[in-house]
Structure 1
Amino acid sequence: MPYRPHSEQHPNERIGWLRAAVLGANDGIISTSCLLLGVAAANAGRSELLTAGVAALVAGAMSMAVGEYVSVSSQSDAEKASLDREREELLARPVAEQRELAGIYVSRGVTPELATQVAQQLMAHDALSAHARDELGIREDTAARPVQAAVTSAVTFSTGSALPLLTAIMAPADIRISLLAATSLLFLIVLGWLGAAIGNAPPLRAALRVGVLGAIAMAVTTGIGELLGTAVG
């Protein structure tokens, strides 16, 4: 029977972009809604909310993009340095590296004889890839990608931030705060649920966690906004 590659996908294969996307959107909703609630509680009008919200969206998206790029670039640099060092070791002492690879398979339950055969065949095919995957834990589909992480974070932050911003400028003044808080919490809960579902994690726990923490953050900023509005007014 001819060999057919295994095509099943697992959550860890998309964890990089999923992490950046969920973090970006979640940050956008929480930070912008909290800011707008604080400003609205200080008796600001629609124009002030629009100014504050757009500033929060742009500044937050840039901050997320730069932060993700720097963070993931550091991870990428570390991975490249590890691969360069491993490449040198493979050239300098290939026999010792083969024994090291075989030892990894033995520690995972493979018999020494089979582990040696597997190590020999894998190193004959692509020694660096074998050591990168099994010794260093670096895989092509999960490798750090700084630009992808930065763009994903910026776009998802902007998307998440736009939701409470649109709510704040479109809602009637008399129900603006309550409607903004309610819709932002709904957005957070849905996002938490979807993120967990995509990653095959328990969705209810994730939705409750982000909802409760988001509600606390909104309550704190609303209270501070009311205090400042009263004091300044």
Structure 2
Amino acid sequence: MPRSHTELHKLDNVGWLRAAVLGANDGIVSTASLILGVAASQATHQAILVAGVAGLVAGAMSMATGEYVSVQSQADAEHAALDKERGELHDNPAGERLELANIYIARGLPAALAQQVADSLTAHDALAAHSKDELGLSEATLARPLQAALASALSFAVGAALPLLVVVVVPHQQLIGFTVAASLLSLALLGGLAARVGGANVGKGVLRVTFWSAMSMAAAAGIGALFGTAV
């Protein structure tokens, strides 16, 4: 039976999903690890809270900065490619139409129809046609540095807020246990959701995220217990 055209394509979700999951995952893991490391050093509750807040702010800013620099580099490359294409269209319009037609021929169109399509698209918007079909760029995929930076910082902050909330509401004596449990549970749900939406194996997604996150938190707690001193 033919599939409906409204069928959800899992790959359509991969881009935004990956960024959101990485940001939130980093927020939970790094902040929880920091809290556990400081808590294991026998620090006061206030010191643990301050360290967690500082970790959230520093982590969110770091994520935003890294994402901005990375995506801005991509945007610069896209602009350079478009400028080069604009110059080629000005200097050799006939050759560019032929290049566009050859792209459509390679995709399976008959030569005459490919040339007709190339001529029509060139007359409508030559740069847009080459941007999409030669360079692989479109409005939906263009790099947006500020948007990417804000989204990355927000997703990190949302993830980091969870272990911080535990510090606020849980008594000091139970802080380590509740932080570990809440963080791993949230990470398991996050990993499972990411796998489900992305069409991957849910069990493997949950196991992968929780295992490596547990290793990170255990290492931080071990270092805090080994080298920490009371604050």
Per the TM superposition, whether the score is higher than 0.5 is yes
Paired residue for 1:191?
190
Partner Cα distance (2:145, 2:167) in 1: 33
Question: Please, which moves more after superposition, 45-54 or 162-171?
Answer: 162-171
Change (3 A) 1:158 1:56: same
Deviation at 1:193, TM superposition (A): 2.4
Gaps of 5+ in 2: none
Contact (CA 8 Å) 1:20, 1:153: kept in 2 or not?
Answer: yes
Change (3 A) 1:12 1:129: farther
Percent of pairs identical after alignment? Answer: 55
Partner Cα distance (1:102, 1:134) in 2: 10
Contact (CA 8 Å) 2:13, 2:197: kept in 1 or not?
Answer: no
Paired residue for 1:153?
152
Partner Cα distance (2:123, 2:12) in 1: 26
Partner Cα distance (2:12, 2:78) in 1: 17
Partner Cα distance (1:185, 1:137) in 2: 40
Gaps of 5+ in 1: 1-5
Partner Cα distance (2:108, 2:8) in 1: 24
Deviation at 1:204, TM superposition (A): 3.4
Aligned length: 226
Paired residue for 2:32?
33
Partner Cα distance (1:56, 1:171) in 2: 19
Q: Counterparts of 1:1-233 in structure 2 under 5 Å? A: 15-229=14-228, 232=229
Q: Supply the AA of the counterpart residue of 2:185.
A: L
Partner Cα distance (1:69, 1:12) in 2: 24
Deviation at 1:197, TM superposition (A): 3.4
Change (3 A) 1:214 1:164: same
Partner Cα distance (2:8, 2:89) in 1: 31
Deviation at 1:182, TM superposition (A): 1.5
Q: Supply the AA of the counterpart residue of 1:31.
A: S
